[in-house]
Amino acid sequence: MAAFVLDKRGSPLMPCSEKRARLLLKRGRARVHRVLPFVIRLTDRLAEESAFQSLRVKVDPGSKVTGVALVREFNSGIAVLNLFSLMHRGRQISEALVTRRNFRHRRRSANLRYRAPRFLNRARRDAWLAPSLQHRVDTTMSWVRRIKRWTPISATSVEFERYDLQAMRSAEVAGYEHRKYERVDYEIREYLLKKWWHRCAYCDKEGVPLHVGHIISRARGGSDHLTNLTICCGPCHFRKGERDIKEFVVDGIRCNRILGRAKVPLKESASVSSTRAALVTELRSARLVVETSTGGRTKWNRARFGIPKTYALDAVCVGDVSVVMDWQRPTVEVKCSGRGSYQRTRLTAEGFPRSYLIRKKRIYGFQTGDRVRADVSKGKMIGIYVGRVAVRASGNFNIKTQNGVVQGINHRYCKVVQRADGYGYSPLLRLAQRVTRSKSVGPAL
């Protein structure tokens, strides 16, 4: 993967390869600025003395995981530099809010001092989002700003709508089988697959090749409008042919359900998601050129280039893409872990306290989530351990390494490599792992 590079004043430069970053560190021309993601700072160069190329950040928003890709643009296409999968914790936030609400209701209903409800004096802005949804926008924007701080990007591409409804409407004029653009087929097919739950509308078969068919055949005056199209398996498509649906589907309940479902629009594709709209607004406020695209076009690009489906590679295929190079790169999984909890007790399933947490977040200068290196020189735990630390009031910490959790490491053997930033990283970057385990290079600045 590419290593991020800063000049001696902290301004972003063009990323470099792992080999070049290792040589710069070995020759003393650079210092380690950050371990994960790996960022170096040059000691002998300014941004004014460097040449820049066109860089773009591509984002594929998701409900649980958002794909982020940093690419370099050239005349005939793009070259992939870095891939990230940002795993959100919206579900945890939602469950925590429900728990807090239950505690609040209990305090009001119990024989305690009366507390007036605070929601009566709270005002919400017009573009308000639920905390679990706002978290998705905030974390995605946080990583876009981080990449902007480490690289000279000037543009972004984001999947704004799931389907291009305008393209589907314009395509029906020329007829379903006489379209000029292959991408429109993907828009319509993805729309119908989502609408009919990826199964045959007539026999409910799943996991078989599905075809796009007409509910009212063209021979009987049916149109190519989306309300007249459905998804069906090959045998059902062949048996139906030009027959009327009421003749083919004998069961009246199923027939009415198919006709009713055909007229119901898919809400997710008919309107723009509030989360994606908020994300695009935030990107534009960051003074970046924003290119919006659709999910159907993303799949069309992925199928053209033979790229497997992952969250990060979906981000690579967002927008107008002609050629994709160097996409066979490892993906850094970034998990939102939060910055701790205000709750001072752990509860049982019945709501009773079972343990109490320490009041201070830092113990002997360490905090849960810090990345540390422990050089244990004596005792049963002799060795070198690098990973995420969980602090204890006793001073004996737990370190989560690649091979598992190591318990009972005294704080005297630990040294901070990188402070906790609210995220967990996996897998480790190869160069960052070498630098962390090497004694010749000091800790991050």
- CA 428 to chain CA centroid, nearest Å: 18
Q: Which residues pair with 84 in a beta bridge?
A: 68, 332
d(CA 75, CA 368): 47
* More confident of the two residues 304 and 356: 304
d(CA 124, CA 311): 33
Q: Which residues pair with 332 in a beta bridge?
A: 84
Q: Which is it for the CA torsion 234, 236, 239, 245, positive or negative? A: negative
Taking residues 233-260, report their average pLDDT.
90
Structural domains in the chain, CATH included, are 55-90+131-162+273-329 (3.30.420.10), 165-268 (1.10.30), 362-420 (2.30.30)
Q: Per this entry, what is the length of the chain?
A: 445
* More confident of the two residues 219 and 31: 31
Tens-digit pLDDT profile for residues 170-217 = 544 444 443 444 555 666 787 788 888 899 999 999 989 999 999 988
pLDDT at residue 21 in the model: 95
pLDDT at residue 228 in the model: 87
Q: 64 falls in which pLDDT band (50, 70, 90)? A: confident
Q: Which residues pair with 404 in a beta bridge?
A: 401
Residue 26 clears pLDDT 70, i.e. is over it: yes
Closest by CA to 372, choosing from 361, 360, 388, 359, is 388
What helix, strand, coil percent values describe the chain, rounded to 5?
A: 35, 25, 40
Closest by CA to 407, choosing from 426, 385, 425, 438, is 385
Instruction: DSSP for 199-228, please give it.
Output: S-TTT---SS-EEEEESS-GGGT---SGGG
Q: 62 falls in which pLDDT band (50, 70, 90)? A: confident
Both tokens of 309, joined, read: 């489906």
- CA 301 to chain CA centroid, nearest Å: 19
pLDDT at residue 444 in the model: 39
| 303-to-27, 193, 333, 444 alpha-carbon distances in Å | 44, 17, 24, 41
- CA 214 to chain CA centroid, nearest Å: 36
The CA angle 109-111-113, to the nearest 5 degrees, is 95
Taking residues 245-250, report their average pLDDT.
89
> Please, is 377 exposed, middle or buried when counting C-beta atoms within 10 Å of its C-beta (0-12, 13-18, 19+)?
exposed
d(CA 94, CA 111): 28
- The conformation of residue 181, written as its DSSP 8-state character, comes to -
Both tokens of 148, joined, read: 């902007």
**CB–CB of 66/86 below 8 Å?**
yes
The neighbour count for residue 317, using CB atoms within 10 Å, is: 28
CB proximity list for 5: less than 8 A, separation 6 or greater: 12, 13, 14, 15, 16, 21, 30, 39, 40, 41, 42, 150
pLDDT at residue 262 in the model: 84
Range in 146-155, 262-271, 347-356 the model is least confident about: 262-271
Q: How many Cα atoms sit within 13 Å of 41 on the Cβ side?
A: 13
Instruction: DSSP for 134-170, please give it.
Output: HHHHHHHHHHHHHHHHHS---EEEEEEESS-HHHHHH
Range in 74-88, 144-158, 258-272, 277-291 the model is least confident about: 258-272
pLDDT at residue 440 in the model: 38
Residue 11 clears pLDDT 90, i.e. is over it: yes
Residue 390 clears pLDDT 80, i.e. is over it: yes
The neighbour count for residue 406, using CB atoms within 10 Å, is: 18
Tens-digit pLDDT profile for residues 400-443 = 998 899 999 999 999 999 999 999 888 544 545 555 555 434 43
CB proximity list for 35: less than 8 A, separation 6 or greater: 371, 417, 418, 432, 435, 436, 444
pLDDT at residue 185 in the model: 67
Residue 268 clears pLDDT 50, i.e. is over it: no
**CB–CB of 399/364 below 8 Å?**
no
**CB–CB of 362/391 below 8 Å?**
yes
Q: Has this prediction a pTM greater than 0.85?
A: no
Percent of the chain with pLDDT over 70: 83
Closest by CA to 422, choosing from 364, 374, 367, 353, is 367
pLDDT at residue 91 in the model: 85
114-139 as b/e: b if 16+ CB within 10 A: eeeeeeeeeeeeeeebeebbebbbbb
Taking residues 49-62, report their average pLDDT.
92
